[in-house]
Chain A
Amino acid sequence: MEEMILTVDTQLACKPSDYRSDVKPVWCPGCGDYHVLMAFTRAFAQLAVPAEQIAVISGIGCSSRIPAYTNCYGFHGVHGRSLALASGLKVTRPDLTVVVASGDGDGYSIGGNHFLHACRRNIDMTYVVMDNRVYGMTKGQPSPTTEPDFDTAISPGGTGLSPFHPLVNALASGANFIARCFAGEPNETAAILVEAIRHPGFSFVEILSPCVTYRPDQKAWKDLVHPAPVGATNDPAKAARRIMTDDGFNIGILYRGERRPYQPKFGRQSLDPSELEQEFEI
């Protein structure tokens, strides 16, 4: 029997499973991030980019574990600094497909400043934020996107603070592609990721990814999400109006900008590592 199952598996070559590593995810069963991983691998397979030409960069948090679960090059970096790292990588290796993974805490709080400037710089990479409106890995503290009345042990009665609006900030800061997805729809998410990766410049994809452990109320998201009623616009003013007034569950590509991506021209094509080392010699 086992032999037969293995035969079936072997014939799945060049499929999304080719982009998955042997490392078993440790996310809680029911977590939206499993679906996001699935969307990543489906998108990569659809793009047919070899795994060694993709770099998945992340910071810290549940969502940031994702590089280890792919077969691509990966860097599980410092809290909130994934975009800085990815920017450096992309400008020096423009041939790579760079995808950055983050969560709402890592991306909008600790890495909030990098987020704004990455949008502004418009380097050709894709930033995926798995937003569950809570710090899951550190056990349920409110994040920048948490609702003001979300009651936790650390914030009795809620924080009372207006949530950060990532899409509006991305648009205002210059992101060239903005989309919102729902983790529970991995095929639709994969299709949007494909477009985000193909679109030149900085693409920002916010994925609503439920935390079933600290935000079990988010299981209801699957009934709240709905496709965006109109297609993407390239007009920032129209996009701003739509994003500012939507209900937060509008799924789809909301903005496709036409700014030219930033790619610095280096005076020298390569640098011998020994030259760099000399600078640090004591």
Chain B
Amino acid sequence: MSKTPGAPTVSTLADLFGAAYQIEIDAVERYKILADQMEIHNNPEMVDVFRDLARAEGIHAEEIRRQAGAIDVVEHGRRVGKWTKGESPEEADLGAAHYMMTPWHALQMALAGEKRALAFFTHIVETAKDQKVIKMAAEFVEEETEHVNLVHRLLRKYPVPPESWPQDPDPPVSQE
């Protein structure tokens, strides 16, 4: 699997935990921004969806912190968790948001993020030198695979919306 462009360099176990933690924190922040957007634009169903997603990513962040034990994931996350190109893998694409979007769209965003995170950890498994890093990254690969599967399961509950989903009965119109 090719390297994710702009990805942080992970050499040690502390780097790995820091990067993993930062990925989840970035996702929390992004979903909160999206929830706020939906609140402002009166799409209450999506407010709940994005807040739930933020909550779920917050739980993942806490799990990583717990797994990291004595490693200060906040400090390491700040040091190594920066993406020089593009965005952190689980940061949902703000450009894909729409004020009339549906849970299906949000789950597509989440799915794309989980897949990017999976690719990041898979690359570490394939290229790291340190056995401890490889072992832990493999655990993250398993977790991210489970997250991908979970989103797929959730998507069964939310079918593809009809093509008319962005049709607004009172749309913003160009001024004449």
Contact = CB atoms under 8 A, between A and B. Distances in A.
Kindly name the residue among B36, B82, B175, B176 whose own CB sees the greatest number of chain A CB atoms within 10 A: B175
Contacts of B125: none
A153 interface: yes
B94 to A, nearest CB: 5
Given A8-B58, A186-B87, A213-B172, A24 B98 contact: no
A34 B94 contact: yes
Interface string A181-222: 000111110010000000000000000001011100001001
B99 interface: yes
Contact of B41 (A28, A34, A141, A210): A28
Q: Is the interface of B mostly helix, strand, loop or mixed?
A: helix
Interface residues of A, number: 39
Contact of B62 (A8, A24, A186): A8
A30 B96 contact: yes
Contacts of A17: 29
B41 A153 contact: no
B99 A28 contact: yes
16 contacts: A1-B59, A8-B61, A24-B40, A25-B36, A28-B41, A29-B101, A30-B94, A30-B95, A30-B96, A30-B97, A141-B175, A153-B174, A184-B95, A187-B82, A187-B86, A214-B172
Interface of B: 6, 25, 28-29, 33-34, 36-41, 54-55, 58-59, 61-62, 74, 78, 82-87, 94-99, 101, 172-176
